[in-house]
Structure 1
């Protein structure tokens, strides 16, 4: 005897399934749309590049490195003294300005675009090491931009939307983007067998982050320590990890 299911029962199950899936799909589309608008806003920030905060200091730093990369002097005063504002990243920007002849603020706009691109892609890649949910990277990015309370923190290294709009061209944005890529790379090296080249590369990247922005370097180091502690690596990993630490 053949038993046939009731069409009404099948349609009821299909409708229930659709009603269960629809809110999640709508939520993903909404989150993606909001993220797109935020990225568009940040792109407009790069174009405008607000003259506030320490932008003038960073412009002076790049300008000094453009004219005298080996002996730039102090970017704040007319003195041949060292400055903490010089770093591998600002040296690259000074080299770009020197080689292309671009205005220093055009170079800073390029720096802002590079920093934001590194930050967005870094967050996306790192979140993928924690969750496979399709909406996870989008929600993480929105949380990183908006969940900072009611009082804006306008400071380098803080990624609230208001702060990031002012500091997009700063080395802190560039190094924080590198930090997320560093954590992603480190997570992969701890989960899968990785050779000495990978670990030494991690050491070099860690050193670059520390040299470019010390505050971001501290955050990067704390995140790396937490990643290693959570992974509980075996004995075979520790010599390579030690090599990365020594190189960094």
Structure 2
């Protein structure tokens, strides 16, 4: 029996060490913070919010127009920059560390709703990062190592981390059914809206994952009512977000 336990434990340790090494590598990337892609746009967004939280103007052009770059996460980072006086790139590094922690903990939480195997979270993280075939994807919202290394300070990583926590929370709620109070469903609706506001592409992925979670759980009518209330709350948050019109993005290319 002890030999069997040791054999089962060794793959778990290897997977966990591999996952830790990946996280350490991404933390080193945060220190380097490569100037690539949309980093300048996100830096400009934080800088605009640092100077004016109420009417920051468009971060890409000299115009007083709304912008979808003004997400809840960027607003938080703008407040951090405004209160602390830290440079924009230091604030982006702080945000990257927070988003990376949210992403890793979110994967762990969600995988735990699917498997109790000790190696499952670490193996899932490694699969998410490495199993992308031979073509490089370097774009916000993709979880390949190359993409994460370039976008770790972007709102998309924060949104993906929230998405995994959202799925884990939703999975627990639908399993408990009507035993969960209304506050849980309202909170899920708000969280869903925040993900959509932070990064629309990741929000679509989070929505599809939520739909799959609900369908797989085969919930009853009482739960569907609660889900409907949560969805209405989420739509309300999207509707009242003051920095840009979320629904105006629906018809855009």
TM-score, length of structure 1 as denominator length = 0.91
Residue 161 of structure 1 deviates from its aligned partner by 0.7
**2:224 corresponds to which of 238, 243, 247:** 238
Please give the residue correspondences for 1:79-158 in structure 2 after superposition, counting only pairs within 5 Å. Answer: 79-158=63-142
2:246 is equivalent to residue 226 of structure 1: no
Structure 1 residue runs of 5 or longer lacking an equivalent are 1-13
Partners of 2:204 and 2:121 lie apart in 1 by: 24
The aligned residue for residue 184 of structure 2 is: 198
Partners of 2:13 and 2:79 lie apart in 1 by: 42
Q: Alpha-carbon deviations, 1:125-146, whole Å to 9, x = none? A: 0000000001000100000000
Partners of 2:90 and 2:25 lie apart in 1 by: 18
Residue 23 of structure 1 deviates from its aligned partner by 3.8
Runs of 4+ in structure 1 off by over 4 angstroms are: none
Three-state SS of the structure 2 residue aligned to 1:33 is helix
The aligned residue for residue 213 of structure 1 is: 199
The aligned residue for residue 153 of structure 2 is: 169
Residue 25 of structure 1 deviates from its aligned partner by 2.3
Three-state SS of the structure 1 residue aligned to 2:70 is coil
Q: Which has the higher contact order (CA 8 A, sep 6+)?
A: 2
Partners of 2:187 and 2:18 lie apart in 1 by: 36
Residue 46 of structure 1 deviates from its aligned partner by 1.2
Three-state SS of the structure 2 residue aligned to 1:155 is coil
Partners of 2:146 and 2:132 lie apart in 1 by: 10
Residue 62 of structure 1 deviates from its aligned partner by 0.4
Residue 22 of structure 1 deviates from its aligned partner by 4.2
Please give the residue correspondences for 1:6-45 in structure 2 after superposition, counting only pairs within 5 Å. Answer: 18=3, 20-45=4-29
Q: Alpha-carbon deviations, 1:90-117, whole Å to 9, x = none? A: 1111111001100000000011011100
Residue 21 of structure 1 deviates from its aligned partner by 4.4
RMSD: 1.1
Rg larger for = 1
Q: Alpha-carbon deviations, 1:156-191, whole Å to 9, x = none? A: 000111110110010000000000000000001011
Matched positions, count: 232
Residue 205 of structure 1 deviates from its aligned partner by 0.5
Partners of 1:29 and 1:201 lie apart in 2 by: 36
Three-state SS of the structure 2 residue aligned to 1:163 is helix
Three-state SS of the structure 2 residue aligned to 1:237 is helix
Partners of 1:190 and 1:29 lie apart in 2 by: 32
The aligned residue for residue 61 of structure 2 is: 77
